[in-house]
């Protein structure tokens, strides 16, 4: 129902804000090395670091408070207990990534699992997960893994090594020399493997679990999947380090990949609600991005 969905949305939003603000708090010195990031509130000093830390902690506290509100008057059965464990693990893994992730190779897997657990929390809060639940969990994991390990690794390749960052991109040989960007074949294979696995997952409810589908739905899923693959290939095929171009490729991928799950869920939630799920983040972005002093489709990241 709408009430529970609203509370879940608030919990998810608070969890996301907690992670992003904590990440910015920890990465201030690293961000100072990038000219394009000097206008960020924490980097410029417009927002004191202490305030950012307080906002992050309050978001975590309120996220758990809203969990109690969500379950108020309900019996904490095995599924809800598992949901609570997922949320605690998400907080621990996400915090570890934000604080120590730059020093641990492969920590991108931690934040990917963390966001997957946040999704599982919502599913387990209302009963037994089904096949689609696990498909979406894996898609969430893949999405965050690619976003942090691949997109983030390429985007920050020009300065991560200066601060002694240890990540999969640098370990595999991604580097910038002058304006020249080098992305080794092994890293490209890693990127495309994640994307191809996600494309496979999107079609599994119809291929293996007997969910109904329309021909036009499969066509749209195929076209959007091709779009994600295309811009992923464009990103890892770059030979010149151009941060603006990299950010455009990342932003385009984001809009496309986040529409895949709502389209996949049409047989379950219907066309109208799927359309709302696709449209809502786009409208949110268009409305609120200018209000926080950012330019549309040119995020400072």
In tens, the pLDDT along 248-270 reads: 899 899 889 999 999 999 998 89
pTM over 0.85? The answer is yes
Given a cut of 80, whether residue 57 has pLDDT beyond it is yes
Superfamily of domain 1-129 in CATH is UbiA prenyltransferase (1.10.357.140)
> Band of the pLDDT at 297, cuts 50, 70, 90?
low
> What is the per-residue pLDDT across 227-243, written as a single tens digit (0 to 9) for each?
999 999 999 999 999 98
Q: How far apart (Å, rounded) are the C-alpha atoms in residues 161 and 92? A: 26
CATH 1.10.357.140, the chain: domain bounds? 1-129
Give me the phi and psi of 46, to 5 degrees please: -60, -35
> Band of the pLDDT at 34, cuts 50, 70, 90?
confident
- Mean of the per-residue pLDDT values of the chain: 90
> Band of the pLDDT at 294, cuts 50, 70, 90?
low
Higher-scoring residue by pLDDT: 108, 102: 108
Q: What is the pLDDT of residue 151?
A: 95
> Band of the pLDDT at 295, cuts 50, 70, 90?
low
Given a cut of 60, whether residue 299 has pLDDT beyond it is no
> What is the per-residue pLDDT across 166-224, written as a single tens digit (0 to 9) for each?
999 999 999 999 899 999 999 999 999 999 999 999 999 999 998 888 999 999 999 99
User: Is the distance from CB of 101 to CB of 23 less than 8 angstroms?
Assistant: no
Q: What is the pLDDT of residue 42?
A: 83
Q: What is the pLDDT of residue 275?
A: 92
Given a cut of 80, whether residue 63 has pLDDT beyond it is yes
| Residues in the chain, total | 301
Helices 131-145 and 243-264: angle between axes, nearest 10 degrees? 180
Place of tokens 């960020």: 40
| Tokens linked to 238 | 């770059």
Q: What is the pLDDT of residue 186?
A: 96
| Tokens linked to 182 | 């080098």
Helices 108-124 and 78-100: angle between axes, nearest 10 degrees? 160
CA 187 and chain centroid, separation: 20
């Amino acid at each position: 129902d709408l009430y529970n969905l609203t509370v879940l949305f608030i919990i998810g939003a608070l969890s996301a804000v907690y992670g992003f603000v904590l990440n910015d708090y920890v990465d201030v010195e690293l961000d100072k090395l990038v000219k394009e990031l000097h206008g960020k509130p924490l980097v410029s000093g417009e927002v004191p670091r202490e305030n950012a830390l307080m906002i992050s902690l309050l978001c975590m506290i309120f996220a758990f408070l809203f969990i109690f509100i969500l379950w108020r008057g309900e019996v904490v059965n095995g599924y809800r207990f598992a949901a609570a464990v997922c949320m605690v693990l998400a907080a621990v893994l996400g915090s570890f990534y934000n604080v120590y992730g730059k020093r641990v190779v492969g920590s991108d897997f931690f934040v990917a699992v963390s966001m997957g657990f946040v999704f599982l929390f919502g599913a387990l809060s209302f009963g037994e997960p089904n096949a689609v639940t696990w498909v979406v969990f894996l898609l969430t994991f893949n999405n965050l893994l690619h976003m942090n390990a691949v997109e983030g690794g390429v985007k920050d390749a020009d300065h991560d090594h200066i601060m002694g960052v240890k990540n999969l991109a640098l370990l595999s040989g991604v580097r910038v020399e002058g304006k020249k960007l080098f992305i080794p074949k092994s890293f490209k294979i890693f990127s495309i493997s994640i994307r191809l696995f996600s494309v496979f997952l999107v079609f599994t409810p119809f291929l293996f679990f007997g969910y109904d589908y329309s021909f036009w739905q499969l066509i749209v899923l195929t076209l959007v999947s091709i779009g994600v693959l295309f811009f992923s290939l464009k990103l890892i095929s770059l030979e010149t380090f151009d941060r603006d171009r990299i950010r455009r490729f990342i932003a385009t991928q984001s809009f496309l990949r986040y529409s895949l799950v709502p389209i996949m869920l049409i047989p379950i939630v219907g066309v109208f609600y799927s359309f709302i799920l696709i449209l809502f983040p786009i409208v949110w972005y268009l409305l609120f991005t200018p209000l926080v002093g950012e330019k549309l489709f040119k995020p400072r990241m």
